[in-house]
Amino acid sequence: MTELECLKHKLTQQLDSIYKDVELALESDEIADALIDAMRIEQGGFTPKPFSNHWSEQDVVMITYGDSIMCPNQNPLATLSEFMDTHLECINSVHILPFFPFSSDDGFAVIDYSSVNDGLGDWSDIETIAAKRRLMSDLVINHCSSRSAWFQNFIKGEGVGHDYFFTANVEDDLAEVVRPRTSDLLRPTQTSKGLQHVWCTFSHDQVDFDFRNPQVLLEFVRIIRQYLDAGVNIFRLDAVAFLWKIVGTKSINLPQTHEVIRLLRTLIEHAQHDAVVITETNIPNTQNLTYFGNANEAHCIYNFSLPPLLINTLITGSCLYLKRWQMSMPPAQDGTTYFNFIASHDGVGLRPVEGILEDEEIKVLVDTMTLFGGKISSRTSEDGQKKPYEMNIALIDALQGTTKGKDPFGLARFTCAHAIMLGLEGIPGIYIHSLLGTGNDYEKLANTSHNRSINRHRWDCQALNGLLADENNVHSKVLASLTKLISIRTSQKAFNPNATQFTLHLGLQLFGFWRQSRDRRQSVFCISNITDQPMDLPLAELNLIGTETWFDLIDGEVINDITATQLLEPYQTVWISNVA
C-alpha cells in the first residue's frame, strides 16, 4: 500500500472503534477520506517516525493570556511579542490561552474558532509570534459558547451546527456523571423542535459537543488545519477527558475519548511531523497517565499532581508525599513526556492528589491557602457532597509562608519551587504571573466574582516596565532569578525532558533527584532544602565520582571536597554537575 493508503486504513480502523455503537449515514472509509482532505494530507507528505521526541532541554513554555500586558494604542498580542523579545529571550515557546472571540470563562467559551478576538489583534499577530517561538494553542474541543452561530443554529434547527450538541432527558440516569462544577448538568433550551436539555459539563454558557456526529470531528480537523497554517504546532486539548458522553456512565475517560485523541494525533503528525498534542485532564493521577496510551495518544500530559504536592512540601517542610509520588511515576517513554507546571491561569487542582495526599493533609493545605488570601472552589462529588476542587491563589502568595504562618522566606521559597520544577523530567511551563511575581488580584476578583480571577491580573505595560527597571523591586527580583534558572537549565543536556531521573534518599527535609544526559556524559544532582531552617547536605552520600570536577551550576562554584558537608540555607537549591 502507498503511504496515503496506509493512513486511510489506520483512520478507518480508528473510526470503526470510535463509532462502533453509533449508526452512521456514511461509511468509515468515506469519513476517513473527508478527514484526509480537510487536513490536506497528500501522497509524499510527512510520515511520522514512531517514538520521536519533538523537544529538548531548550524547550520552556510561558503560559499567558493574550492581554496579560496592555499598552495604549497597541494590539495586546503585539505588546506580548515585544515583551517576550525584550525580557524573555531565554524562553523559546509560548502558550497563548484562547485568543478567539468568547462570551465567558476568560476565553474558554469560544464563539468563533476561526477568528482572533479583535480586542487582541489578528492572525498576522499570531503568525508573528509563531515565527519567533513555538506556539501552543488551545483546542477547546469539549464545548463552545451558547452564543456561537452553531448553537444558534441548534436552536433554530437548521444550518451548520444544528446537530452538533449533546442532549439528554431529565429522566435519564445521570447520577454517576463526574463534573468539576456544582451547577445543573442539563440546560433547558427552547428550540424549534421544542424544549431540549443540553449537556453542560462546565457552565450553561458552555454547551457540550456531540462527537457521535462525525461532522463535529470533521469540523475540528478543519480548525486544526487552520491553526497549523497560522504557525501553531502545539495543541492543548482542553477538558478533553469529558469529550464522549454515554448516559448511565461517569462520562469521563471513556474509550471513545482516548480513540478520538489517537485519531487526531494520527492526522496532526501526518500533516506536520513535529507538531505536538498535549492533553489537559485535571483528574486523579492514575487516570491522567492513561492519556499517554502506548506512545500513540498524547505526546505530553499535564503533570497535574505536581502543583499541590510541591506547595504541600514547601509549606509543611516535609517532602514525604512529593517523594512517594515521584518514585511512583513511570519514566516517559520516547515519543512522550510530562508537561510540568506549578501555576497557571486556573487554580491548583486537588483532584490530582486524591489517593496521594490524605484528607487531613488536604485540609491543612486548603486552610493554609485560605490564610494566605486564597479562595477555594468546590465540586459536587459522586455521593452528592461538596468537596474542595481547586485552590485559587497566586503562587507567590501561596508560598509566602508555611503552615505556621507568613515568614521572611517567601521569595526564597518561591524560587525553590521553580528550581525543583525546572530540574524535573519533562517540559516546564511557567505562568507569566509567576515570572513577574504577580500577587493576588482582589480588585479583579471583586469585579468578576469568579475565584479564578484572583490569578489573572492584567498589567499596564508602562507600570510594569517601571517596576522591572528597579532592581530592588520584588517583580524585578523574581524575573531575574527565574530567567537565570531557565538560562542554566536550557544549556544542560541532563535536563532533556527524557533524560534519566532517579529520586535521591536524603531524608524528608532535603528533596533531591539525579538527572543523567541521554549520552551519559553529564550528571546533575538537584537538591533543595525545603525547610525554613539551614540543613546539612552530606556530599559523601551522593557518591560523586572522584575523578570528575563538580560544580554547582546555580552559584558557579567548584566543589573542592566531595566528602564534605555543605550547608544549605532555607529553601536553597543546588544543581551539582560534572559539566560546567
Residues known to be catalytic: 238
Rounded Cα gap, residues 350 and 51, in angstroms = 32
Q: How far apart are CA 580 and CA 575, in angstroms?
A: 10
Q: 332: how many CB neighbours lie within 10 A of its CB?
A: 21
How many whole angstroms from its chain centre is CA 329?
Answer: 18
User: What 3-state class would DSSP assign to 111?
Assistant: coil
Going by their DSSP bridges, the two strands 375-380 and 348-349 should be labelled as unpaired
* 3-state SS, residue 154: helix
Contact present, 207 and 183 (Cβ < 8 Å): no
Q: Identify residue 501 by its one-letter amino acid code.
A: Q
Residues 336, 299: Cα–Cα separation, whole Å? 5
Among residues 274, 278, 329, 338, the alpha carbon closest in space to that of 52 is found at 274
As a whole number of Å, the CA-based R_g of the chain is 24
* Cα 508 to Cα 86, 88, 234, 316, 503, distances in angstroms: 40, 35, 37, 10, 12
Give the chain's count of helices (H) and strands (E): 17, 28
Q: Which residue has the cell 487516570?
A: 287
As a 3-state breakdown, the chain gives helix, strand, coil percent values, each rounded to 5, of 35, 20, 45
Q: How far apart are CA 101 and CA 113, in angstroms?
A: 8
- Distance separating alpha carbons of residues 108 and 105, to the nearest angstrom: 5
Rounded Cα distance, 207 and 198, in Å: 7
* CA-to-CA separations, 569 to 96, 310, 420, 553, in angstroms, rounded: 37, 18, 15, 16
Separation of alpha carbons 71 and 79, rounded Å: 7
Locate 350 and state its grid cell.
Answer: 486537588
- 3-class state of residue 528 by DSSP: strand
**Strand arrangement, sheet containing 550-552:** 500-503, 510-516, 523-529, 573-577, 550-552, 558-559
Residue 474 CA neighbour count, 13 Å, CB half:
15
328 and 293 Cβ atoms separated by less than 8 Å: no
For 398-423, what is the HEC assignment? HCCEECCEECCCHHHHHHHHHHHHHH
Number of neighbours of residue 502 by Cβ within 10 angstroms: 13
**Cβ atoms of residues 325 and 285 within 8 Å:** yes
Q: Which three cell numbers stand for residue 131?
A: 515565527
